[in-house]
Amino acid sequence: MIKSDTTRQIFFGITAAVFLAIAARAWLAPEKMAAGLGYTLRAPNGYSELFAVYIGIWVATAALALVAAYKVKDALPGDLLAMFVLAQPAGRLLALPEWGPPQGTLFVMFIIEVVGGLALLLVRPSGPPR
């Protein structure tokens, strides 16, 4: 374990930026985003679901990252953020036995999610909460 508030804040800031960038891309180019993930958007429900997850949940995750950065001495917001990040590769692992591993960009994302989520857990607050 590493105890560093500065490193935690940097990791939280990077996490917020990544999730906001993904949300912005989904908002600005939903069809392109969906195609890159193997989806085809054909009806309102498809757009609704894509926006719910890739904009709604991702913006909320970015907001949690900013809260974690602000409350850097409190481990709970950062640990919740790590749980959200690690839930993605966990879900991908659930799909693995039946449909195989993620391919292409999603495989790269799987690796980044695992490494990023574990990094968020390994860097701890430097002292007790304020």
Structure tokens at 92: 């991908």
Q: Return the beta strands (E) in the chain as ranges.
A: 2-3, 123-124
Entry pTM? 0.92
How do the pLDDT tens digits run along the chain, 130 residues long? 999 999 999 999 999 999 999 999 999 999 999 999 888 999 999 999 999 999 999 999 999 999 999 999 999 999 999 999 999 999 999 999 999 999 998 999 999 999 999 999 999 999 877 6
The pLDDT value recorded for residue 130 is 67
pLDDT at 127: 82
- Between the alpha carbon of residue 46 and those of residues 39, 49, 99, the distances in Å are 9, 5, 21
